[in-house]
Amino acid sequence: MAATELRPLTVREQRAAAVLRRVFPADAVLVAVAALLGTIARGLVSAYCNGPTGGPQGGAAASYCSTVHHGWSWGAFIAAAIAIVAVLRLLGGRRRLRRPLTLGLLVMALVANTAIVLSLPGYTT
């Protein structure tokens, strides 16, 4: 079909095309990965704090564990991961490797969270 034979887009189709131009599919995948990594991070902390020994009894470890004793902490960890992605994407601007760098920094945040949990007293016992 020649381009001159195409009908103009409807208003609804124009809005859908505008959204797709603004939200690149890779960005949607990046947000989904951020949500998944936020869930993993919360799960790591929860596994430590609700472990077979009953978790830490005091000190900094108990303070760290106080973040997962509420139901809203799942949303908080996921929102924090998505916020990290949003800030890094804004700071990245139009750089060539902004998505891989953003994903790399998000994975580094998960590794840092894991390192914090592993360094808490009583984790290895």
> pLDDT value at position 54?
67
pTM equals 0.65
> pLDDT value at position 122?
63
Question: Could you tell me how far CA 109 lies from the centroid of its own chain?
Answer: 10
Distance between start and end Cα atoms, the chain:
70
**Domain ranges (residues) in the chain:** 25-119
Q: Which letter, b or e, does each residue of 75-108 get, where b requires 16 or more Cβ atoms within 10 Å of its Cβ? A: eebbebbbebbeebbeeeeeeeebbeebbeebee
3-state secondary structure of 42: helix
> pLDDT value at position 47?
79
DSSP per residue over 94-123, as a string? Answer: T-TTHHHHHHHHHHHHHHHHHHHHHHSTTS
Which parts of the chain register pLDDT below 50? none
What one-letter code names the amino acid at 65?
C
> pLDDT value at position 8?
84
